[in-house]
Structure 1
Amino acid sequence: MKKVTRFFWFCSGAHIDTLKKYPIEHNKYVGIGATIFFTALFASLSGGYAMYFVFSGSAFAVGFAILFGLIWGTAIFNMDRYIVSSINKEGTTNQQILQASPRILLAIMIGVVISRPIELKIFDKEIRQKLKNAYIKGQHRKIDTLEKTYTQKYAMEMGKDVDLKKEKDSLEKDINRSRYQLNQEVFGDKTNQTSGITGYGTYAKQKQAVLEEKENRLKTVTDDQGKMDDYLGRRKDYEGLNSLRLFSDQQLDSLSNVAGFADRNWALGQLGYNDDGSRNLDTYLAETFISWLFILFECLPVFVKLMSPKGPYDVALAKISEANIHFAEKDKDRDIAVTDSVYDYHLDKDVEKKKRLISGQSEYDIERHQYD
């Protein structure tokens, strides 16, 4: 537990040697560190999952996902650690809030980025179904577009084909009627269209000639209509209309499995709407709740640091910081003084004065003598 505690202290960005002296502050920084660690862990999983879909289908997809997940998680961890550790508790509440505002905005952005890939995984089943519906609708639109283009492009040929079919149907009816009348004429049935004389006489020969003429015309029309159908069929193949089919269930499953991150992200956004465009409140609230949950989780370390009162660790850290600043400024002044003295010493041409300066045994004179 001591190792775990020290690890979470490190995650919180605390000065461990100073924090050890104040046991009352230990649990607070363990909690802050644990929150930062698990936020980075979720970020790593989220980034790796997103990268897996970017390289989906590649043999190195898993490797890229693991590598990017580790890098992304480490970057988020370092950023959160800096955000929390840089909040100064010495100012007033308003000053602390103002100081933390950019960090809170950054935390919100990080929370949004982290939550999206995880939402994709949570709603994976619904996303797949939404993608399947989108693919089917897209295929319908594609077929309709091709058919409309084909109809416009070959309107004249199709009109001629329709006319040939109508003429063929009409000829077939006339031939059947003429053949029936010929039989009546040959067998002597008396009607308005027959003479009533039995045998193959003049009237029967006339009806036979008309029948043959219609049959010849039917043969011509049938041949022309067949040629036109064959031509239009080849045009359909050329335009790709005959080869285009609706996706089968197996094809839809395959397409939804290999869908990229952008397609899945679009489908996730569409889950909040019904097919008629109205808002699907249940799904929308679920997505919103998950997003805000991760945003709150990301902002939690900053909120904890802001809400916690100034403790002995904060006071001690402030004093250490002031002392370090004081010593740094003193060292800076000393370095400037030494540099100036050494410079004056080398410019002085009086040898005796140099000896007197050396015998003075002051700190800067000794350093000048050693430098010389």
Structure 2
Amino acid sequence: MKKVTRFFWFCSGAHIDTLKKYPIEHNKYVGIGATIFFTALFAALSGGYAMYFVFNGDGFAVGFAILFGLLWGTAIFNMDRYIVSSINKEGTTNQQILQASPRILLAIMIGIVISRPLELKIFDKEIRQKLKTAYLKGQRSKIDTLEKTYMQKYAMELGKNTDLKKEKDSLERDINRSRYQLNQEVFGDKTNQTSGITGYGTYAKQKQSVLEEKEARLKTVTDNLGQMDQYLSARKDYEGLNSTRLFTEHQLDSLASIAGFSDRNWALGQLTYTENGKRDLDTYLAISFIGYLFILFECLPVFVKLMSPKGPYDTAIAKTAEANIHLAERDKERDMAVTDNIYDHNLDTDIQRRKKIITSQSDYDFERHSYE
């Protein structure tokens, strides 16, 4: 337990040697350190999960996720530790709040960042269903667009094909009717369309000739219709209509499984809306609650430090800092004094050297003048 306590003290950013002297402060900084540690742990899991989706399908996806998760968690841990340890308890409440405001904003941003990937995991089932619906809807839209483009591009050929089908249907009905009338003429059935004379006579031959003409035309229309159908089918292949099909359930499951971070993030946002575009309050509150929870959890170390009263440890740290500042200023003044003494000594030496040079020059001038 001593090792665990010292570890959480380290996480809180406290000066351990000073904190040991004040047992009343021990539990407070254990709580602060534990909060910072578990916040960093959740950040590592969240960052690793996000990176896993970035490299999803890659053989090294797990390795990249672990590496990034450790780096991200370490960065968040270091940032939170600095945020908490840098709050000065010597000032007034307003001064402390003002001092902590930028850190609280930063904590809110960090909370939003680390909460999003975990929200994606929590609502994974709903996200998959939303993605499958979106992919199916997108495929339908794509097929409709292709069909519309095809209809517009080959409107004349499609119209001719429709006319040929109508003519073929009409000829088939006429041929059946004419064949029936021919049989009546041959067997001597008296009607408005037959003579009533049995045998293959003049009227029967006329009806046979009309029937053959219609059959020949039907053959021509059928051939033309087949050629037109073949041409339009080739055009469908060319335009991609024949190869584009709605996704099966298995294909939709595969697409939802390999969806990237961006698609899943979009689907999570769409969960808060119903099919008619209205806000789904229950889902919105559930997703928002998770985000607010992580934001609060990230801000909690700062709030705990702000709410906790000034203790003997804070006073000792403040006095130690003040003493260190005083010692630093004294050392600075001493160093400046030493520098000034060295400068003065060098200046005196230079002045004496110059005096010697001037004296020597004066003696030389005097001797020269006497000689002359």
The TM-score range, normalised by the shorter chain, is over 0.9
The 3-state SS of whatever aligns with 1:21 is coil
| Structure 1: tracts of 5 or more residues without a match | 354-372
Q: 1:183 maps to which residue?
A: 183
Counterpart Cα distance in 2 of 1:140 and 1:32: 54
Give the alignment of 1:1-372 within 5 angstroms: 1-349=1-349
Counterpart Cα distance in 2 of 1:339 and 1:170: 118
TM-score (norm 2): 0.93
259-268 vs 193-202, greater mean Cα deviation: 193-202
Q: Once the 2 structures are TM-superposed, how far is the Cα of residue 347 of structure 1 from its aligned partner?
A: 2.7
Counterpart Cα distance in 2 of 1:350 and 1:177: 138
Q: How many residues are matched?
A: 353
Counterpart Cα distance in 1 of 2:288 and 2:350: 82
- What RMSD over aligned residues (CA atoms) do the two structures have, in Å? 1.3
**Residues 254-310 of structure 1, C-alpha deviation per residue, up to 9 Å, x if partnerless?**
111111011111111111112222222221111111110000000000000000011
Counterpart Cα distance in 1 of 2:160 and 2:150: 15
TM-score (norm 1): 0.93
Counterpart Cα distance in 2 of 1:338 and 1:59: 65
Q: Once the 2 structures are TM-superposed, how far is the Cα of residue 27 of structure 1 from its aligned partner?
A: 0.4
| Structure 2: tracts of 5 or more residues without a match | 354-372
Identity percentage over the alignment?
Answer: 84
Counterpart Cα distance in 2 of 1:6 and 1:199: 121
**Residues 45-72 of structure 1, C-alpha deviation per residue, up to 9 Å, x if partnerless?**
0000000000000000000000000000
**Residues 116-145 of structure 1, C-alpha deviation per residue, up to 9 Å, x if partnerless?**
001111111111111111111111111111
Q: Once the 2 structures are TM-superposed, how far is the Cα of residue 313 of structure 1 from its aligned partner?
A: 0.5
Amino acid of the structure 1 residue aligned with 2:267? A
**Residues 134-187 of structure 1, C-alpha deviation per residue, up to 9 Å, x if partnerless?**
111111111111111111111111110000000000000000011111111111
Counterpart Cα distance in 2 of 1:11 and 1:217: 94
Counterpart Cα distance in 2 of 1:128 and 1:211: 63
Counterpart Cα distance in 2 of 1:295 and 1:66: 23
Counterpart Cα distance in 2 of 1:335 and 1:156: 98
Counterpart Cα distance in 1 of 2:343 and 2:156: 101
Counterpart Cα distance in 2 of 1:215 and 1:339: 123
Q: 1:363 maps to which residue?
A: none
Q: 1:361 maps to which residue?
A: none
Counterpart Cα distance in 1 of 2:302 and 2:43: 17
Counterpart Cα distance in 1 of 2:80 and 2:203: 107
Amino acid of the structure 1 residue aligned with 2:95? Q
